[in-house]
Structure 1
């Protein structure tokens, strides 16, 4: 060892005395550094990820806006639940599992890693790596929930449930009218049922999709027998489908497009007695690119290069605004299909202030309730407000129009019917 040290010292001393040899040593050191740059780069990247994860974990609970985020966060990924810091949870491994999941999702490279994997599955195999989203024929995207419901239809129905449901809707209509409010019930359509011809070939009912039993006939009969004022969205789509140059359900979306929603809102305003918002008329044109709910399933695929250039629509006002003494107030309760309907309502002759009570199915199959308010003429989601019983009662008291929506996939089973009936009974 001592001899080698002495040799290097001698060489260095000699090199320091010779410009030529000194330049050779410097060149050698540079080449050695360049050769190791990839190692240094990888080590630096790993250190950055480690420190970024620690930082994100530290600020997540109290200062979430300080997190280091990806420029393109993932769509539809539920926020990780906080790790349980109890002795029992630690012994069972629940704490360690939650911490590892949270750290993984907090990593700035997590989104791009997921997108890269999803793009590989989509591009090479034509498949979906997003839970609950499936790819049908001609690239049509569907939610698995709606396919499962459609393929399970056998024409049977529970007459007792049907009778109780239609009776409750009639009670809602009577109570609303007693308080001087107009009421309309809306059935929204399911893409799986209304565009069944392009279901994925793997769907259980793909071979018989176009000859499935008609589910809604007894529901329509019950509504007619109870004299409930309603708009039949599935029948509207069936009637308009051959007339429209652009499909009423966009390729990358689960919901009807702006024209589908506007057709439904037009029928709602026609059904209202002495409609305080006036009767809707609208114009339509092809949209340059799919946005919003027209690409909700495409967004859930979380691809690196999503193609949103498929045909869809944009709507506009037809005619001038009405002479309105004040903005009417519309209370809408239902699911996500109401978004396009309420966007169309902003183009009515007297655009209303809209309180939208939104019932959404979560990852664990529960129902989450939100409340959004749109100012007259505001076609966006609006401002999110408290979703309390007191707030609902206050909205109901001030409403001129009450719109209640159920999708055909869950008709007579959703919570909004009962919630509205209870709120009206409280107001008596």
Structure 2
């Protein structure tokens, strides 16, 4: 009996390694077979926890959010969910929470970029609202295309008279306070490079023979004896002379050379310019940056191509012997950015207070205020945009630069705001 037990035990000991090996192999195969399931479950759990974390810290500690390395350009920040009984019953609360959680997800940006890249690569169209692709990959904003295609050559004489009278009053009041004033018309890419408009543009077939909009505006400015720089005419004159297009392929605004040409004419128009007469050098830029790729960034692609030709500018000659730092008050829109960057290369670079009107996420217009130190070509420091701050800037300014884009000329807010501010000066 003892020998039989010992024999069974010996057989079990001999079989144990094989059994254990088979068990390990089975468990291993089972684990590998389920790895995709475990991986998916882990990824979903990560997204769930990351979204909860982002939702918890969004309001009070936004810097603690888990973010994508490449946030989306031009995507409005989600509005807070309305926590009211009526909003809950109507489904507005649930919809807002769902939208907020989705956009706060770390994978939201790459998902959008992947979709946009697929649409762009397969169909050569833009998935970004408001951005259209023209000939040779030129990007345009639809608001400028729509404005250009609606031009009929007509104008309202009474409206033009009131507008030019306001500008004349600005110039007279500025001079009465010992300040120089120049008015600048900035160009529209759709109007100045109409040959590149998308085939889907309403006026694509007649884009190069559209009526000239600005003739009556120029006549009104001349009659009012305004000191002004005509950016659209400047682009038309320089277009064939410049080796690189003055509007970059992926941008909505003129490039640094276009802005510098305008600023050069501004300094030439100023009587005894406090910053001196601008001269500059230009060279091809290695890659498009800043406003030279603002529309390209709005496409939100995985692999944006920013290697198209554009320019960089530099100072020509030495800085001047400046008794003090001049002060420039610039009031207008986004086209002033490159103009003011060029002003930092003037013989006496000014301190710049840049007041500009920008479109917000809910399609309203907001007034912003940035201050650039002398020689600072960046946006500078953001400050308050109050009437009191504008009045103080205006009182200290040596000269005033007012800009309107040709697409909205005579209809923008800056003319009225500047008239009112000058009237408030003692």
Q: Same fold (TM over 0.5)?
A: yes
How far 1:88 moved relative to its partner? 1.3
The equivalent position to 1:348 in structure 2, one of 328, 335, 346, is 346
How far, CA to CA, are the matches of 1:100 and 1:49 in structure 2? 14
The equivalent position to 2:150 in structure 1, one of 149, 152, 169, is 152
Other-structure match for 1:396 = 394
Determine if contact 1:280/1:347 at 8 Å carries over to the other structure: yes
How far, CA to CA, are the matches of 1:169 and 1:89 in structure 2? 48
Other-structure match for 1:329 = 327
Matches within 5 A, 1:181-220: 181-220=179-218
How far 1:364 moved relative to its partner? 3.0
The equivalent position to 2:274 in structure 1, one of 268, 273, 276, is 276
Other-structure match for 1:422 = 420
Q: Give per-residue Cα distances to partners, 1:121-165, cap 9 Å, x unaligned.
A: 000000000000000000000000000000000011122211111
Counterparts in 2 of 1:34 and 1:170: CA distance versus 1, 3 Å: same
How far, CA to CA, are the matches of 1:15 and 1:138 in structure 2? 79
Q: The residue matched to 2:198 in structure 1 has which SS?
A: coil
Q: The residue matched to 2:368 in structure 1 has which SS?
A: strand
How far 1:27 moved relative to its partner? 1.3
Following TM superposition, the consecutive aligned residue runs of length 4 or more in structure 1 with deviations greater than 2 angstroms are 13-17, 362-365
Kindly indicate whether residue 315 of structure 2 is the aligned counterpart of residue 317 of structure 1.
yes
Kindly indicate whether residue 86 of structure 2 is the aligned counterpart of residue 60 of structure 1.
no
How far, CA to CA, are the matches of 1:161 and 1:58 in structure 2? 53
The equivalent position to 1:236 in structure 2, one of 234, 237, 261, is 234
* Consecutive unaligned residues in structure 1, runs of 5 or more: 1-12
Q: The residue matched to 2:80 in structure 1 has which SS?
A: coil
How far, CA to CA, are the matches of 1:371 and 1:215 in structure 2? 31
Kindly indicate whether residue 161 of structure 2 is the aligned counterpart of residue 163 of structure 1.
yes
Other-structure match for 1:117 = 115
Matches within 5 A, 1:11-410: 18-410=16-408
How far, CA to CA, are the matches of 1:238 and 1:161 in structure 2? 26
How far 1:15 moved relative to its partner? 8.8
Q: The residue matched to 2:226 in structure 1 has which SS?
A: coil
Q: The residue matched to 1:18 in structure 2 has which SS?
A: helix
How far 1:222 moved relative to its partner? 0.4
- The worse-fitting range, judged by mean Cα deviation, of 175-184 and 187-196 is 175-184
How far 1:362 moved relative to its partner? 2.5
Q: The residue matched to 2:237 in structure 1 has which SS?
A: helix
How far 1:363 moved relative to its partner? 3.6
* Consecutive unaligned residues in structure 2, runs of 5 or more: 1-10
How far, CA to CA, are the matches of 1:98 and 1:369 in structure 2? 28
Q: The residue matched to 1:413 in structure 2 has which SS?
A: coil
Q: The residue matched to 2:367 in structure 1 has which SS?
A: strand
How far, CA to CA, are the matches of 2:368 and 2:351 in structure 1? 17
Q: Give per-residue Cα distances to partners, 1:317-355, cap 9 Å, x unaligned.
A: 000000001110000001000000000000000000000
How far, CA to CA, are the matches of 1:146 and 1:233 in structure 2? 16
Q: The residue matched to 2:283 in structure 1 has which SS?
A: strand
How far, CA to CA, are the matches of 2:186 and 2:361 in structure 1? 22
How far 1:17 moved relative to its partner? 5.9
